[in-house]
Amino acid sequence: MNDQLNATHDPNLQSWIESANDPQTDFPPQNLPYCVFLRDGVRRIGAGIGDRILDLFELSAAGLLPSVLTEPLQSTCLNALMGADLDQRQALRAALCGLVTDRKSALAESESLQRRILVPQNSVNLELPATIGDYTDFYASLFHATNVGSMFRPDNPLLPNYKHIPIGYHGRASSIVPSGMAVRRPSGQLPPAVEGAAPTFGPCQNLDYELELGFWVGKGNRLGESIPLSSAEAHLFGVCLLNDWSARDMQRWEYQPLGPFLAKNFASSISPWVVTMEALQPFRCEAFARPEGDPQPLPYLTDSRNERSGGIEIQLEVWLSSRKMRDQQLPPTRLSHGTFAQMYWTAAQILTHHASNGCNLRSGDLLGSGTVSGPLRESRGCLLELTWNGEFGRPVPGNQRTPLALPSGEQRTFLADGDEVIFRGWCERPGMRRIGLGECRGMIEGAI
C-alpha cells in the first residue's frame, strides 16, 4: 500500500522555513497543500508550508517550476492544475519540496525572491480553491446510514441497495462557500406538528452539521465513457474538509420520494486547502473490512489494489464554540473524533460508480464522502447521531434525544444562532511525518 513513496515523503525532511519544522504544523514539507489566495486584489495559486504560502505565480514566473505547468500555475483557480497529467503533478511536488528543503536552492539563497514568494498566511484571504462545476454528495458510512435508518425505520435501518451501491445525490455547487463564511439559518417548509395537519413555513429548528471529506476530481472523462476502478485513483486530485450543513426538520418533510433538496443546498462549507493524493500516500490502508455475511461489491467495484490500499487513515474532529462560550472566553469544546478509514465505500469506488453510466466528470468537480461516523458514540459525525440515545444498530423506543452539555452550562440537541462549528483533520503514522488538512469553520447566523 506504500508502493508509491518517494523522496518527498521522507520523514526526516526539514525546511529552512522554520515554522514548517514544528511537529504540530499541518504543513511540513511532506505535505505542500494547494490553495487560492487573494493578493493585491488578484487571485493567486499557492502552496502551504509552515505558516507561509508559496506564491506559485511568482515561482513559475521566476522559472523555478516545471515550464509545462506555467499556464496552469498562473491561473486564478486550481482547475487546470487538477487536470494535469500525474507525472506533471509529481514533478511539481518534487520541485516545490526541493525549493523549501534545500538550503542552497535559488529560493533559500535569495532574500528578494523570498519577499516576493513567501506570503504570511495570516496576511491574506483564502478563497475557494477551484471553480466547482458539479458537486455530488454520497452516503458512504455504514455506521451513519445504520444509525439514521434506525431512527426512522427501526425494523429496517438499511435499505436493500445500500451494501451493493454507493448511494449519492447531486448537490448545489453554487452554494459551496469557503471556510470562515457565515451561514444563514435556512427557512422552509416544516413538517406538520401532528399527523394530518398542514405544514408550516419558517426558520429551520433542527439545524445540523455533517462531518465529511471532499474529494476533488483531477482528470475527467468524456461523456459516454466510464472510469474503471483500476485507474480511478489517477482521476482523484486531493481532499478537503467538507461541512454538509443540514436542516433536519425540512429534510424529514421533503426527502421523499426524490431525496435531499432545500434542506441541503442552502450552504456547504469547505476548507481552503487541497491536500493532494500524493501527500496522503503514506497513510493509505486497506479498504474497510466488510462484516461477515455482507455481499461483495459487483465486479466493476472490485479491484485488488483498492482492497489493499483504498482506505485512508485521516483523523477527523468536530469542535463547537457557542456565543456564550466566547463571551466567557472559553475555548471550543470537542464533540467527536473519528477516522475516515472506517468508511464502507472507498473514494475510488465512489468515483468509478459515478462515472459507470458514462457521466462525464470534470476537473474541479467535488465529491462528498457523506457523514464520517464510526461505531462508537464519540465517533458520530453529526448532532442527529450524537444526541440520539441509541447505540449503533440498537433502536431506542421513542427516539429520545440526550442534549450535549457545553462548558458554558448550555445544552445542544441541534445548532443555535451564534454557534461556530470547526472541523479539523490530520494524518499520522509511526515512522512518518504528521500532515494536516487545516480547518473548516462556519458560524450560524439568524434566519433568512
Return the CATH number at 101.
Answer: 2.30.30.230
pLDDT digits (tens, 9 = 90+) for 345-401: 999 999 999 999 999 999 999 999 999 999 999 999 999 999 986 655 454 555 678
What is the pLDDT, as a whole number, of residue 94? Answer: 98
Cell of 311: 482506505
Q: Which domain holds residue 433?
A: 135-447
Instruction: Judge whether 176 and 132 are in contact, CB under 8 Å.
Output: yes
Domain boundary among 126, 151, 171: 126
pLDDT digits (tens, 9 = 90+) for 55-89: 999 999 999 999 999 999 999 999 999 999 999 99
What is the pLDDT, as a whole number, of residue 256? Answer: 87
Residue stretches of the chain with pLDDT short of 50: 1-2, 393, 395
Domain boundary among 93, 126, 159: 126
pLDDT digits (tens, 9 = 90+) for 82-112: 999 999 999 999 999 999 999 999 999 999 9
Domain boundary among 126, 161, 176: 126
| Nearest in space to 71 (alpha carbons), one of 62, 61, 104 | 61
User: Could you tell me if residue 2 is inside a domain?
Assistant: no
What is the pLDDT, as a whole number, of residue 393? Answer: 43
Exposure b/e, 409-435, CB count within 10 A at least 16 = b = eeebbbbbebbbbbbbbbbeeeebbbb
Is the pTM higher than 0.85? The answer reads yes
Decide the pairing of beta strands 125-126 and 211-217: unpaired
User: Could you tell me if residue 237 is inside a domain?
Assistant: yes
Q: Which of 9, 144, 235, 354 is catalytic?
A: 144
Identity at 404, one-letter amino acid code? L
Indicate if 337 belongs to the active site.
no
Number of compact structural domains in the chain: 2
User: Could you tell me if residue 1 is inside a domain?
Assistant: no
H/E element holding 65? Answer: none
